Chains A and B, each alone.
Chain A
Amino acid sequence: MAQHYSSFDRGGRRWLFQRLTAVFLIGVLAFHFMLLHFVNHASDITFLGTQARMSQVSYFATMWLFLVTATFHGVNGVYNALVNQGLTGSRKNAVKYMLGIAGLLLVVQGTRVSLAMTTLV
């Protein structure tokens, strides 16, 4: 067997969460593409159509979880890629907080967008 080679620290929780979110995202990203390009063509999307979909509790919850898990997976992935390239010390810390804030802002704005699209709230 090849020697251990990973972008993550052994036993780290970031590795576990990256994999757990990956399992969820594999299904939801494929579903999102199918629904909004094949079932409904992207050029036919209207606000009323979006609102009808986002006003179903299960669809709304799935899309909001999609936002949160994709943001975590993406931002954590970028952080790990940079650490892998040799980012250390205070620059590593600065990048960690910047990415954390960027991810948080994305979730906040994504939540605003989700709420604007639904009649549930």
Chain B
Amino acid sequence: MSQSYNRGTVEDFGRWREFTAGMWAWIFHKFTGWVLVGYLFTHIAVLSTSVGVDPASAQAGSDLYTSTLSGLESLLIVRFLEVGLLAVAVFHILNGIRLLMVDLGVGLESQDKSFYASLLLTGAIVIASVPTFLGGKLA
């Protein structure tokens, strides 16, 4: 027998206190998606410094691309933003796998538990990665 639930619309964010795990998963997935697509455009803009690099300055390591990337990496705020980006990307990947499973009808009964697992695993991966992201040479 099939059951149907009327939880109202997730777009009505004013009633966030009533949201269930699946609705939070939907909101987090949209939010992380917006961040990632914004980053994609920014990333290509930064990597555009590689267009027209002079081979001699590339050999010397003083070309615009290398100096732009090392300049950004020398800023502590950029390192923290990268950790934030990792958190966003890892959650989007893990919840994306969860969504593919939901679409295939696998583990529908545990979709709330798999959302909590995505959150926990994201937290663990991000915390474990902090030393690597903050390591390396800084200005």
* Chain A residues at the B interface, C-beta cutoff of 8 Å: 1-3, 19, 22-23, 25-26, 29-30, 33, 37-38, 41-48, 50-51, 67, 70-71, 74-75, 77-78, 81, 84-86, 102, 106, 109-110, 112-113, 116-117
Contacts and interface: CB of A to CB of B under 8 A. Distances in A.
B132 A38 contact: yes
Contact of A26 (B33, B41, B93, B132): B93
Nearest to B2: A1
B11 A110 contact: no
B135 interface: yes
A19 B100 contact: yes
Given A1-B2, A81-B34, A112-B51, A26 B97 contact: yes
Given A42-B82, A50-B65, A75 B3 contact: no
A77 B33 contact: yes
Main secondary structure, interface of A, reads helix
B119 interface: no
A34 to B, nearest CB: 10
Interface string B105-134: 000100000000000000000000100110
A46 B61 contact: yes
Contacts of B86: 33, 37
A38 B136 CA distance: 11
Nearest to A115: B51
